[in-house]
Chain A
Amino acid sequence: MSKIVNPSVEYPANTWPLLFYGAAVLILAGIMVGLSYILGQRHEDKDTNTPFESGMKVTGSARLRFSVHFYLVAMFFVIFDLEAVFVVAWAIAFNELGWTGYIGVIIFIGVLTAVLVYEWRIGALDFGPNGKKILKAQKEFK
């Protein structure tokens, strides 16, 4: 490794564009922030500290509440995704582990399948509004 690149010799030749670029970024950002600090006006009015919405007054919080389903699906993904790690670890050592490993992984996937069916059954995988429920409620309303 050290034969190909000798760090002490190559160091300035290789890295000066990077250093120059970094310095340029810092100087440019410094000029922009500094100039607006010197030239900008300062005042303390009623709406100064509210978020800028095209010059209009704020009409509510910028925070949206997402449906809890997004979270639920993300969590299922994270958990089932990580289970794949164990299956991959088995697949790499497939020949060495033989039938014992095969039976082990079958049990593992069997447990995962049972849990997946359970999630399906309790309705954790139903997305969005339930059409049948709405139609039923509409009929009862009439």
Chain B
Amino acid sequence: MNIIPIEYYLVLSAFMFAVGITGVLIRKNAIVVFMCIELMLNSANLALVTFSSYLGNAAGQVFVFFVMTVAAAESAVGLAIIIAIFRNKLTVNIDEINIFKW
């Protein structure tokens, strides 16, 4: 089934990673920023699975499990923090969360 060359997957994953970084840097909504971070982690997952499949080495796929679990834990904590800040301040716009200067 080696129809699609490895470069295609890697370019797609690099593109997803770049979109994630750009999103984190330019978006103002904390939840959207969080989604962009998840996109970065998932682009790494795609690269790991690609390498793992092309090298015939299962370690990369096992690592993807761990990355997924960690991403779930991180988003649970992150969203809980966003809820806490929304209850106190009624906004999730990171430009308005500025007691300390960024």
Contacts and interface: CB of A to CB of B under 8 A. Distances in A.
Do these two chains interact?
A: yes
Interface of A: 1, 68, 71, 75, 78-79, 82-83, 85-86, 89
Interface in B63-83: 65, 68-69, 72-73, 75-76, 79-80, 83
B83 A68 contact: yes
Contacts of B69: 79, 82-83, 85-86
B11 interface: no
A89 B83 contact: no
Contacts, number: 26
B59 interface: no
Interface residues of B, number: 12
Contacts of A71: 79, 83
Contacts of A78: 72, 75-76
Nearest to B80: A75
